[in-house]
Amino acid sequence: MEPSHLDTIRQSYDVVAADYARSVKDPAELDPLSRAVLGAFAELVMSADLGPTADVGCGPGKVTAYLSRLGVSAFGVDLSPRMAGLARTAYPDLRFDVGSMTALAAGDGELGGVLAFYSTHHLPPGELPEVYGEFHRALAPGGHLLLVTRVGEEEHQRRTYGYGGDPAPFDSYRLPADRIAELLDRAGFAVTGRTLQEPEAGAKRAVAGFLAHKPEGPRA
């Protein structure tokens, strides 16, 4: 049975979907480091050419569309039917599925890439081993993962916000970057690169990007 917090995340994103879609930047307008990391990931999955890339927690699909413009065969998956619906309307040529990153519809080894861009922080940290394991299962050997998330001292926040419109409750979790890298390693990934964006003046959180791949053979 689905854990109840997934239903809370789904309902909250359904409430804020339209306002979120209006307020979130297109990746083309992001800072140069964020675009560079997305560009590096795109280059890696295109040169490996092992299958499609799933943008898990794709929201309104702006990042999925950005990857697609860079040449990646990308599709989106989101827990919130409203988010997936907005993505389909905005990008009718791309595929957007309703589903959870905790149980991807993709078969074993079917994906060439997995992108999780600001989408894993609502899951309790105890679930991350299973979720990273799910990314690993669905990726082909040699496939690439890019995980971008806020990092810092371990923290759990419950806040109500609405991106300028109707508010909804959100639980958010933060972990140290080293802990995330360790969990990715335990899930079977080789973490090949990390970026760290320090908080901007006034902002509280640092953001890390983890580039990792599923090794092709058994570990030494």
Where on the chain is the footprint of ligand SAM (CB under 6 A)? 6, 9, 13, 24, 56-59, 62-63, 77-80, 83, 100-102, 117-119, 122
Angle separating helix axes 81-90 and 62-69, nearest 10 degrees: 40
Q: Given the complex with ligand SAM, which of 174 and 220 has the nearer CB atom? A: 174
Shortest Cβ 59–ligand SAM spacing (Å):
3
Q: How far is CA 104 from the centre of its chain?
A: 13
Q: Given the complex with ligand SAM, which of 40 and 190 has the nearer CB atom? A: 40
Q: Given the complex with ligand SAM, which of 79 and 211 has the nearer CB atom? A: 79
Amino acid identity at 86: L
Q: Name the one residue in this structure whose structure tokens are 């972990």.
A: 175
- Taking the C-alpha atoms of residue 95 and residue 144, their distance in angstroms, rounded to an integer, is 20
The pair of three-digit structure tokens given for residue 114, joined into one six-digit string: 């997995």
Q: Given the complex with ligand SAM, which of 137 and 142 has the nearer CB atom? A: 137
Q: Given the complex with ligand SAM, which of 23 and 192 has the nearer CB atom? A: 23
Shortest Cβ 216–ligand SAM spacing (Å):
27
The pair of three-digit structure tokens given for residue 220, joined into one six-digit string: 């030494």
Shortest Cβ 220–ligand SAM spacing (Å):
33
Amino acid identity at 209: G
Shortest Cβ 192–ligand SAM spacing (Å):
22
24: closest CA among 164, 191, 134, 198?
A: 164
Shortest Cβ 214–ligand SAM spacing (Å):
20
- Taking the C-alpha atoms of residue 167 and residue 13, their distance in angstroms, rounded to an integer, is 10
Phi (first) and psi of residue 33, to 5 degrees: -70, -40
| Pairing state between β 111-117 and 139-151 | parallel
Shortest Cβ 58–ligand SAM spacing (Å):
5
Phi (first) and psi of residue 115, to 5 degrees: -115, 130
